[in-house]
């Protein structure tokens, strides 16, 4: 089983001072030896992480398939429920589908949201973005606990 991570390098975040919700920094998925869409990919974490949290919430609530769309370029991961907590991750440009667990996917997104939230919170007119990221972390926790209790 592959444990996915969302890469947000510390050196990139040190210099990340967003002027808007659409500010870009390095962020990409890492599945063992595969980086998606590519290592050192730049995108808009204040937007995509909240969208991805929404999509993961839909998956946790019973959706069979969702997409985690990047803003920069035509890249998206398709997530399809295989069985219980097993999720198949695919994309046209991935060599093969990858099977991961729902909790691992959620944790990767939660870790990224927690890591990038302070950059938005330091800017007064973007504090709501950082707070939204932190609220999404909490909401995903609640959904996973509910899912676990009901064996969905």
**Per-residue pLDDT tens digits for 96-107:** 999 999 999 999
Reported as a pLDDT band with limits 50, 70 and 90, residue 18 is: very high
- pLDDT score for 7: 97
| Stretch 60-77: mean pLDDT | 94
The rounded Cα 79 to chain-centroid distance in angstroms is 12
Is residue 81 helix, strand or coil?
Answer: strand
**From CA 83, how far away is CA 93, in angstroms rounded?**
24
15, two tokens: 């210099």
Give this prediction's pTM: 0.93
| Stretch 40-69: mean pLDDT | 96
89, two tokens: 């991750």
- pLDDT score for 147: 59
């Amino acid at each position: 089983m592959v444990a996915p991570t969302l890469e947000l390098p510390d050196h990139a975040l040190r210099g990340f001072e967003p002027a808007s919700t659409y500010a870009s920094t390095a962020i990409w998925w890492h599945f063992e030896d595969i980086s998606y869409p590519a290592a050192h990919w730049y995108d808009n974490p204040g937007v995509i992480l909240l969208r991805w949290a929404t999509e993961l919430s839909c998956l946790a609530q019973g959706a069979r398939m969702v997409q985690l769309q990047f803003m920069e370029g035509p890249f998206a991961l398709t997530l399809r429920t295989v069985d219980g907590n097993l999720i198949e991750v695919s994309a046209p440009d991935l060599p093969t589908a990858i099977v991961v667990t729902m909790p691992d996917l959620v944790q990767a997104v939660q870790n990224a949201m927690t890591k990038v939230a302070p950059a938005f919170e330091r800017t007064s007119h973007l504090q709501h973005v950082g707070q939204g990221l932190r609220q999404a972390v909490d909401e995903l926790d609640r959904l996973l606990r509910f899912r676990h209790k009901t064996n969905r």
